[in-house]
Amino acid sequence: MDPRPLPPALGPVFSVKAATDAGVSPRRLRARDLDRPFRGVRVRSAPVAESAADRHAQRALAYAAAMPDGQFFSHVTAAVLWGLPLPGPALRSPGLDVGVLAPQRTPRGAGVRGHRFVQASTRVCIHPTRGVPLLTPACAWASLGTVLDVPVLVAVADAIVRVPMFRGDPPPLATIGDLSAASTGRRVGVARLRAALPLVRERSASRTETWCRLVLIDGGLPEPELNWNIVVNGRLLACVDLAYPRERVAVEYDGEHHLVDARQWSRDIDRHEALAAAGWVVIRVTKQHLFADAAGVVARVRHALARR
* Distance between CA atoms of residues 164 and 159, nearest Å: 11
CA 254 – CA 251 distance, rounded (Å): 10
Please name every residue paired with 251 in a beta bridge, in sequence order, or none if there are none. 242, 283
Band of residue 7 on the pLDDT scale cut at 50, 70, 90: confident
120-131 tens-digit pLDDT: 889 999 999 999
Residue 1 has pLDDT above 60, yes or no: no
The answer to whether residue 273 scores a pLDDT higher than 90 is: no
Q: pLDDT tens digits for 136-178?
A: 999 999 999 999 999 999 999 999 999 999 889 999 999 999 9
Spell out the residues 6+ positions from residue 270 whose beta carbon is closer than 8 angstroms to its own: none
pLDDT value at position 46? Answer: 67
DSSP state of 46: -
Mean pLDDT over 291-307 rounds to: 95
Contact criterion met (CB below 8 Å) for 144 and 79 = yes
Contact 229, 243 (CB under 8 A): no
Domain boundaries, the chain: 8-44, 52-199, 207-307
Query: Which pLDDT score is estimated for 259?
Result: 55
Specify whether the CB–CB gap between 72 and 104 falls below 8 A: no
DSSP one-letter code for 102: T
The confidence band for 2, taking pLDDT boundaries of 50, 70 and 90, is: low
pTM value is: 0.88
- 207-307: in CATH 3.40.960.10: yes
- The backbone torsions φ and ψ at residue 47, rounded to the nearest 5 degrees and listed phi first, read -60, 145
Residue 3 has pLDDT above 80, yes or no: no
